Structure 1
Amino acid sequence: MSNQTTDNNKRIAKNTLVLYIRMLITLAVGLYTSRVVLNTLGVEDYGVYNIVGGVVAMFGFLNSTMSGATQRFLTTALGEGSKKQMSLVFCSSIQIHAIISILIFVLSETIGMWFLIYKLNIPLDRYDAAIWVLQCSILASIVMVMSVPYNAAIIAHEKMDAFAYISILEVVLKLLIVFLLMFVDFDKLKLYAILMFSTQIVVRLVYSAYCKRHFPETRYKHVIFKPILKKMSSFAGWDLYGNLCVVGKTQGLNFLLNIFFGTVLNAAAGIAGQVTGIIMQFANNVIMAVRPQIMISYAQKQYARMNYLINRSSIFIYLLILMLSSPLFVDCYFVLKLWLKIVPDYAVSLCRISLLSGLLSIINSTVSAGIHATGNIKKISFISGTCYLLVIPFVYIAFKLGVAPYWGYGISTIVMYIILILNGVILHSMLREFYLAKYLKMILQLTFITMLYLAILFFSSECIEMSFLRLVVLCMESVFIAIIFLLLILSKEEKIKMKKMISNKLSKFKQ
């Protein structure tokens, strides 16, 4: 193994550790704040905030599109060692994001407002508060859009410690918001929306200040460089369709739950989204550390390393998240009751299916990074995007037939599984060096592991009454099972490296 590869692996490990610490802090704060916000706002207002915020998020696909484009071009320029190219990419991305901000504002104030007034199922006495939420969400989205180029620069440079510190600052501010909600005598839904918007402004200023101080290429210059704008716009144009379909699927599913079942189901969906989001932060932290290396490996034509990062990182991250989420999956009602006190109807079933979908998204994130690295995203955007969008008519028909709400999430998860296979085929068609057979084998392997893993834990849970003790036992058992599967999955070379690493750590500890 070359020194450069060793250094890159160490960088991934270091960034993962930093992001892991960041995640632990955000997890603790997130669990507490979600509980207090739900209890303070009430189930109905909490549902209103989630559904109205979703109206703006519906147009956030514009932001997601350029976020991927900016990260891809910045990381590729960094891999090629071109500072000038990075500066041109950054300045171009600022210009494009300014246009996106205007589009989001116009679309939200027209289509978003129309949708809120005429289509959403909002209690009449909460319409005024819902409009406040909409306006604050629009402004917060614009601030977030303009933060993307700075965020992308930090990730491209793999300065995850800074990214972690700023994220910790954000959750601390959100914690302060919770305390204010508890003690201020004002419409709490309106106040919550205003304070969340204020938090985004502070975070945006911190991102900008850090980048300007550490990365010279992030100092904006009004230079219009058409070749870069054309390439980024072309990439973003194809990515636009894919992201539009993903957001359409996510928010469309949320709207269908509202139309067919009311705001209480939106509260359940909000809880499911938060639980899955908190757990998936573990995965996203590692993926965030691995993703730049996948793109750099492609830029440097190190295809063997790119294959290794896509396949092995998927397995290791998946197993880690399976270990963390399985006890929650099995003992979901007890955990939600312990955490929230109030458990909305269908929250348990939605949480369980959402966790399964989140696990599949781990594999999708790594293979998608490989496709984005090539710069050719026409196939993935059209094929995968269309599959995502087809979820909505399928779910609509299912709800019309009278199925339970959790089937909406179930259909979405089945489609996600199909997309994983399609994305592997797409990457192989563009890069013959990508090992499709190993990728498909990995998907089947993880499917079998998941079924066996959950079956063992469900069987064990039947032997103990629902209690905190049972949850602790399930957590310990989950760790033990994960270690066994890890030892079975590791190759001989990986086992040797692990033994050597543990031996070195122990020798240092003894000294």
Structure 2
Amino acid sequence: MILNALGVIDYGIYGVVGGVIAMLGYLNTAMAKTTQRFLSFAEGKRDKAKQKVVFNTSVMLHLGIGVSIFILMEAFYYPLFYGILNIPEERMAAAQFIYHMMAVSTLFTILTVPYDATINAHEDLVYYGIVGVFEALLKLAVAFIVVYAMIDKLILYGVLMTTISVLMMIIMRIYCHQRYEECVFFPKKYYCNRSAIEMGKFAGWNLVGTFSGIAGNYGTGLLMNHVFGTVVIAAQTIANQIGGALNVFSSNMIKAINPVIVKAEGEGKRSNMLDLSLAGCRYSFFLYTLFAIPCLLEADYVLKLWLKNVPDWAVLFCRLQILRTMLEQLTNALGMALMAEGHIMKINIVNLVLSILTFISLYLLYSFGFLPYWHFIISIIFMVIIESCFKIYYCSRYCHLSIKYFIRNVFVRCVLCAVIPFLVGLYFVSEFEGQGFLRLCLTSVICTTILIMVLFSIGMNKQEKNLIVRNMFTNMH
């Protein structure tokens, strides 16, 4: 709906300039992990006073971080618009307006990080469920408003999306102060320099990893815009939206299990922490695969069903983005295991180096005339496969994870659970001639059924199978 209302050019402009909004969620989640780690660790030790110290110290730290990033974004404004971005002259003013709004929105998002971390630490899924539905309804309303608006649709869309972000932040702050005991902002009493130094070091290294991820996504997006223009960015933005929509359930599951992982480490239960981390890797992969395989097979029809005008490269980009996100799930929870244990410096340095190598590799490839889809291939090689290998290695070194155990109980199980239903679905799609809604439904049912069967026979261990069977019999009686 938004693509049809804005048009391919304006949608591409919003994807590259307003793409900061997409990065805000990533930045917010990544930075919140630092505060959540210290809050959950203190909760594991049953230390409520320490939680108040962590919260107040976190608020002050993120105030400094937010103001610094805001200044950097404004300082980067001129070289970005007059040296890097490839935007039609007649849409330059609208794009610049969007960028300034994104800078303000970034500041408010960072200031909300301690509150988001508190909700995560308390595993408050009810809040995320209710507010998530409310936010989705607001975004749907924005889509209808933009379609029928008579003013500049790009500027209006940017203003409304930023307003939603700020509104969600205000709701979160009010909710936390009303509900959680540790959310008392009184820095004169609870601010601690020692905690600030400890959290500052941790947050600093985590921020290195966060900006590595942003550089690997937004930075390479700027490069693609500079080389290929806004139409290709429109296709990339659609691929990112598809990948994000499919990832909702698995990301929410990881968000729920993260504080439990840290609490287990805080209680000194390393074995439980590792078991939870490996289960998180497997089940986030299974949840994503459940929705990803039908979409992977029917990407062409899904995009035609969703969009009136499908941009060039959109179908291929969607398939590659789905594959990338699927592979990321295999080691998703291992990052939190490293955070819980405390050794995050080296993995974040690795992420930074890999992001730089990704950017340099793409720059060289595009200079030699390679096509846009190499963005995904290089990203998968550096930012997924190589990064995952380093995660496994550091978990083995610092958390005493058995690499053989990981390969046998996570990697092999997950690959089999994905490949078998994919091959069955691929055979069905090749035999069922003609795209259509019926084939999409049948493909989804067949792939889901096969996945559940393979999951129960291969993907689960004995304890998990027994737990499910026991719960089924309990519910029957």
TM-score using structure 2 length: 0.94
Is the counterpart of residue 460 in structure 1 residue 439 in structure 2? no
Counterpart residue type for residue 303 of structure 2? L
What is aligned with 2:355?
A: 388
**Structure 1 residues 60, 460: closer, same or farther in 2, change over 3 A?**
closer
What is aligned with 1:7?
A: none
1 CA distance for matches of 2:443 and 2:23?
38
1 CA distance for matches of 2:443 and 2:26?
39
Indicate the RMSD between aligned Cα atoms, in angstroms: 1.8
Is the counterpart of residue 451 in structure 1 residue 416 in structure 2? no
What is aligned with 2:141?
A: 176
1:373 aligned residue (340, 345, 357): 340
Deviations 1:189-217 (A, max 9, x none): 11111111211222121111111111121
1 CA distance for matches of 2:29 and 2:247?
18
Matches within 5 A, 1:147-186: 147-186=112-151
1:296 aligned residue (263, 275, 291): 263
Counterpart residue type for residue 346 of structure 2? K
Q: Which runs of 5+ in 2 are unaligned?
A: none
**Structure 1 residues 412, 453: closer, same or farther in 2, change over 3 A?**
farther
Q: Which moved more, 1:116-125 or 1:57-66?
A: 57-66
Q: Which moved more, 1:388-397 or 1:92-101?
A: 388-397
Partner SS, residue 18 of structure 2: helix
What is aligned with 1:194?
A: 159
What is aligned with 1:264?
A: 231
1 CA distance for matches of 2:412 and 2:466?
26
Is the counterpart of residue 128 in structure 1 residue 93 in structure 2? yes
2 CA distance for matches of 1:56 and 1:323?
27
Counterpart residue type for residue 104 of structure 1? I
**Number of residue pairs matched by the alignment:** 471
2:441 aligned residue (472, 497, 504): 472
Matches within 5 A, 1:313-328: 313-328=280-295
Counterpart residue type for residue 61 of structure 2? I
2:80 aligned residue (92, 95, 115): 115
Deviations 1:87-109 (A, max 9, x none): 11111111111112211221111
The answer (yes or no) to whether the contact 2:418–2:451 under 8 Å persists in 1 is no
Partner SS, residue 435 of structure 2: coil
What is aligned with 1:28?
A: none
Matches within 5 A, 1:377-416: 377-415=344-382, 416=384
Is the counterpart of residue 360 in structure 1 residue 327 in structure 2? yes
What is aligned with 2:311?
A: 344
Counterpart residue type for residue 262 of structure 1? G
Is the counterpart of residue 40 in structure 1 residue 9 in structure 2? no
TM-score using structure 1 length: 0.88
What is aligned with 1:203?
A: 168
The answer (yes or no) to whether the contact 1:65–1:236 under 8 Å persists in 2 is no
2 CA distance for matches of 1:156 and 1:63?
15
What is aligned with 1:279?
A: 246
Q: Which moved more, 1:292-301 or 1:270-279?
A: 292-301
2 CA distance for matches of 1:220 and 1:246?
31
Deviation (angstroms), 1:152: 0.8
2 CA distance for matches of 1:60 and 1:197?
12
Deviation (angstroms), 1:167: 2.3
What is aligned with 1:253?
A: 220
Q: Which moved more, 1:312-321 or 1:410-419?
A: 312-321
- How many percent identity over aligned positions? 29
Q: Which moved more, 1:441-450 or 1:83-92?
A: 441-450
What is aligned with 1:24?
A: none
Deviation (angstroms), 1:494: 2.1
Matches within 5 A, 1:134-149: 134-149=99-114
Deviations 1:99-122 (A, max 9, x none): 122112211111134202321000
1 CA distance for matches of 2:124 and 2:155?
36
Q: Which runs of 5+ in 1 are unaligned?
A: 1-35
Is the counterpart of residue 495 in structure 1 residue 465 in structure 2? yes
The answer (yes or no) to whether the contact 2:35–2:114 under 8 Å persists in 1 is yes
The answer (yes or no) to whether the contact 1:421–1:440 under 8 Å persists in 2 is no
Partner SS, residue 76 of structure 2: helix
Matches within 5 A, 1:68-83: 68-83=33-48
Partner SS, residue 147 of structure 2: helix
The answer (yes or no) to whether the contact 2:424–2:447 under 8 Å persists in 1 is no
1 CA distance for matches of 2:172 and 2:272?
32
Is the counterpart of residue 430 in structure 1 residue 398 in structure 2? yes
**Structure 1 residues 503, 448: closer, same or farther in 2, change over 3 A?**
closer
Partner SS, residue 116 of structure 1: helix
Q: Which moved more, 1:68-77 or 1:307-316?
A: 307-316
What is aligned with 1:485?
A: 454
What is aligned with 1:244?
A: 211
Deviation (angstroms), 1:60: 8.7
The answer (yes or no) to whether the contact 1:235–1:376 under 8 Å persists in 2 is no
2 CA distance for matches of 1:455 and 1:406?
24
**Structure 1 residues 147, 387: closer, same or farther in 2, change over 3 A?**
same
**Structure 1 residues 492, 67: closer, same or farther in 2, change over 3 A?**
closer
Q: Which moved more, 1:118-127 or 1:201-210?
A: 201-210
What is aligned with 1:3?
A: none
Q: Which moved more, 1:262-271 or 1:51-60?
A: 51-60
Deviation (angstroms), 1:493: 2.6
